[in-house]
Amino acid sequence: MARAQPTRLLGTPELVALLAALMSLMAFSTDSILPAMTELAQSLAPDDKSRTQYIVSLFLLGSGVGMMIFGPMSDSFGRRKALMAGIGLYIAASAAAAFANSLEVLLVLRFFMGVGAAATRTVSQAVTRDLFSGAQQARISSLIFMAFVIVPAMAPLVGQQIIWAVGWRGLFGTYMLFGTLILTWFLVRQPETLAPEHRRAFRLKPILAAIVEVLRVPVSRRYVVVQMLLYGQFIAYLSSAEQLWVDAMDVGERFPLFFAGVSILAAGAGFLNSRLVVRVGMRRMLLYAFGSQTVFALIAFTIFASGVLDGAPDWVGVMVFALWSVSLFFINGLTLGNVIALAMEPLGHLAGTAAAVIGAVGMVAAMVIAAPLGQAFDGTPRPIMLGAAICSALAVTLVATDMGRKRR
């Protein structure tokens, strides 16, 4: 059946820019708030700074829940209405968060911001599927990713400038403005891409059935756990990034610059995976990647735990931590697509619903790892490095035992 090509009125450059802007809302909302953690702690949690880590993790938890809601909603009511509902919730929660007078209230609102923001990623991916297929879809998706990849790198720098200008509460005004602008752009320029005859009734039963199916199929269950281990260590790092760089590494206001450098250096991971995975195979790529991270994390942990840095210039420790951070980001980009693809292999009959459920279940389950690992921060990077080594070693075990049953 032909795709809904008549609904595409935008030229390719504008369409790519629009869909990349939609995709970037979640990343910007996650990373731009990282430089605000110290100021937030002084305002709302002066007795326990580490609790501010939940500002990141609860947003991501909400986004996991939101994926399961807005995927089926966009298939039922159309892409435009789903996006309006999601960004509407995001804007409302952002407005309320700007006036939060306690950390607990802010955390609840950040969760709902995440739920709403999930609509942007879901709709961006759905519109791409509606308008393109095959190699053309892959090409457009790659262009969107190339435009999107700069956002996680630059978001902390932008966030820092906003905080300096108007304080941390001003960030939430920026989120409202960003959400309003991309929603307006989409509604004015992009017609509905889902034809009425292709819409399906919005029901919870298929979502619940997909969750049961994902957890029932052994291969899918295995790689959802691998995804949990991957997300868990990465979210723990993001949640405590400001403490790791500012408190442990003492880089001060240069934190956003270091974060940007790490993100940019790791940006080519997805491209490298696309070139290697066909020759090496998904399982073997995961084995090499997680095995490498296990080794890198253990080496970095040993360096910081052994005292060999005692008396060394501060920049030596910073460079060791920065190099390990690049490895963590790089391996996240190198493995995530393969993990999701392997989890989906036996679930082709569930298609998009399974993809949303796998991503959401992995994200939600990852909080079991991310929350305690982030809270284990002791003024050094040792806990996060040891946690990453353990998570990666467990992932290696799961992939290796799967390869023992099925060679790829």
The residue ranking higher by pLDDT, 283 or 9, is: 283
Q: What pLDDT shows up at residue 311?
A: 83
Last residue of one domain, picked from the residues 196, 212, 233 = 196
Write out pLDDT tens, residues 144-155: 776 667 888 899
Domain of 289 in residue numbering reads as 203-408
Identify the sign of the CA torsion 374, 379, 381, 382: negative
pLDDT at 211: 76
Return the pLDDT at 174. 97
**Is residue 3 a part of any domain in this protein?**
no
For residues 254 and 246, what is the distance between their CA atoms, to the nearest angstrom? 8
Number of domains in the chain: 2
Q: Is residue 231 part of a domain?
A: yes
Last residue of a domain, one of 196, 216, 242: 196
- Domain assignment present for residue 306? The answer is yes
Give the pLDDT mean for 248-259. 93
Q: Are residues 54 and 135 in the same domain?
A: yes
For the chain, the average pLDDT equals 87
Q: What is the pLDDT of residue 110?
A: 97
**pLDDT exceeds 50 at position 13:** yes
* 180 has pLDDT over 80: yes
Same domain, residue pair 237 and 191: no
Distance between CA atoms of 239 and 251, rounded to whole angstroms? 17
pLDDT tens-place string over residues 206-243: 777 777 877 788 888 899 999 999 999 999 999 999 99
Measured at the CA of 292, the angle between CA 287 and CA 298, to 5 degrees, comes to 130
Given the structure tokens 């979640």, which residue do they identify? 26
Predicted structure pTM score: 0.86
Q: Would you place residue 1 in the very low, low, confident or very high pLDDT band (cuts 50, 70, 90)?
A: very low
Which of 169, 196, 223 terminates a domain? The answer is 196
Residues 179 and 261 in one domain: no
Q: How confident is the model at residue 134 (pLDDT cuts 50, 70, 90)?
A: low
| Top-confidence range, 126-130, 334-338, 397-401 | 397-401
Q: How confident is the model at residue 97 (pLDDT cuts 50, 70, 90)?
A: very high
Confidence check: pLDDT of 67 > 50: yes
- CA torsion sign, 358 to 86 to 75 to 333? negative
Query: Same domain, yes or no, for 123 and 249?
Result: no
Tell me which long-range contacts 202-207 makes (C-beta under 8 A, separation of at least 24).
202/72, 202/73, 202/75, 202/76, 202/77, 203/72, 206/72, 206/353, 207/68, 207/72, 207/353, 207/357
Q: Rounded mean pLDDT of 117-133?
A: 86
Residue labelled with tokens 């490498």: 292
Task: Please tell me which residue, 127 or 205, carries the higher pLDDT value.
Answer: 127
- In whole angstroms, what is the distance from residue 383 CA to residue 148 CA? 31
Cα–chain center distance at 370: 13
Which domain CATH number covers 238? 1.20.1250.20
Do 52 and 103 lie in one domain? The reply is: yes
pLDDT in tens, 47-58: 777 888 899 999
